[in-house]
Structure 1
């Protein structure tokens, strides 16, 4: 499986799917940053891999996009979230 999560020099993860999901939803970085209660520049660093995203923000984005954290982290190609039956 070809990974979209790579390290960018400083050991931070580049999560390409964050940007892909945002664009697919037709949203701007400022709108997602507002959902997270962060500045746009901070969110931009998450997308570009220059800052590690905190777990609570990752979960919040997975819920917002109706997907799983595994999908965002490129651990699965299944975009649909897990059902509550599997938890």
Structure 2
């Protein structure tokens, strides 16, 4: 489960569909990323980290520093 993905997205008032477009995946795929039902590919993790200006470790919950 990747709760920080939803947290970051909601903090910016973005929908799952909007984030799915950023990553060029379907909304259902993005939803599965957030829910931890589907592992996030490394390229998508890097894209999300750049988009939100946080570290990959932060996204994965390995570090509390953004």
TM-score when scaled to structure 1? 0.74
Relative contact order higher in (CA < 8 Å, ≥ 6 apart): 2
2:35 pairs, out of 45, 48, 70, with 48
Higher helix share: 2
Matched, 1:27 2:28: no
Aligned length: 66
Gaps of 5+ in 1: 1-13, 80-87
Structure 1 stretches of 4+ with a deviation exceeding 6 A read none
Gaps of 5+ in 2: none
Which of 1 and 2 has greater Rg? 1
TM-score when scaled to structure 2? 0.97
